[in-house]
Amino acid sequence: MLLSTSGLTKEFGGITAVNDVEFTLEEGELCSVIGPNGAGKTTFFNLLTGVLEPTDGTIEFAPSDQPADGADENGVIDITDAPPHETALLGLHRSYQITNVFPTLSVLENVRIAVQAHRGSDSWRFWRNVHAFDDHFAEAEAILERIGLDHYADRPAQNLSHGEKRNLEIGIALAGEPDLLLLDEPTAGVSSEDVSQVTEIIEDVATDHAIMLIEHNMDVVMGISDRVVVLNQGELIADGEPAEIRESEAVQRAYLGGYEEGASDADEPGNAGVTAG
């Protein structure tokens, strides 16, 4: 077990956004989280990463690099109340729906800063000469090569295409060698020509990292996922391999509807007449 939740619940006033979710992720899995807008997917990610505190339930994480204290005999840490910076330092990193990079800094500096942020002893050494962090630059350069942006290392991030910025966000999430990456709609807004490039990077990263992703492009979900989890109205209604999810009557009613392989995002299932969330 890498990550698990038990009875995970989040209420906002009289609205239950995540309702009693029981979930376990194993090391090395690529798991997609799908469901109609307003199903609680992003709220679920926000709970896992400490952006939101649960109303009820627990979250446990078993990082490969064990901290000095806090873990049980099996290496499991209760992160239910851990803030985002603690979950990140433990090895749980994420990207967001909205592109989130430093636009005027170079592509290399965006990743180098992320690397430094995850090296606890160096995070706050603001006045040290940046060129003293050779190991940070080496890791950042290796990440850029992996995500195919090494040729743009000196280019300001704002000059990248939207798809390239999405790839850069994955690179930033890779900084510090996390055990688990949470990617929130990594192909959102990406041109059809660039979607395959983003998914190829995700598949490559999944060879040595566990990944959870929220995604509305069903061709991407069905093509790259080891496992698919479906949320609807805050509840987990299905959990299985892509073929199993595709044939599930409950999922068809809640979300997929008339999904056919190769359908465009314009025909995205499950989103008519629902609110975002």
Residues 54 and 168 in one domain: no
Residues 112 and 195 in one domain: no
Total domains in the fold of the chain? 2
55-71 average pLDDT score: 84
Confidence check: pLDDT of 4 > 80: yes
CATH code (residue 78): 3.40.50.300
Residues 79 and 117 in one domain: no
Residues 48 and 113 in one domain: no
Lowest model confidence (mean pLDDT) among 144-153, 168-177, 251-260? 251-260
Residues 155 and 244 in one domain: no
Residues 86 and 185 in one domain: yes
Residues 225 and 267 in one domain: yes
Domain holding 115, by residue range, is: 97-177
Residues 72 and 188 in one domain: yes
CA angle 264, 267, 269 (to 5 degrees): 115
Structure confidence at residue 270 as a pLDDT band (50, 70, 90): very low
Residues 150 and 265 in one domain: no
Residues 186 and 275 in one domain: yes
CA distance 95 to 171: 10
Residues 77 and 185 in one domain: yes
Residues 231 and 257 in one domain: yes
pLDDT, mean over the chain: 87
What are the angstrom distances between the C-alpha of 113 and each of 24, 75, 105, 174?
32, 29, 10, 12
Structure confidence at residue 195 as a pLDDT band (50, 70, 90): very high
Closest to 227 measured CA to CA, from 247, 209, 244: 244
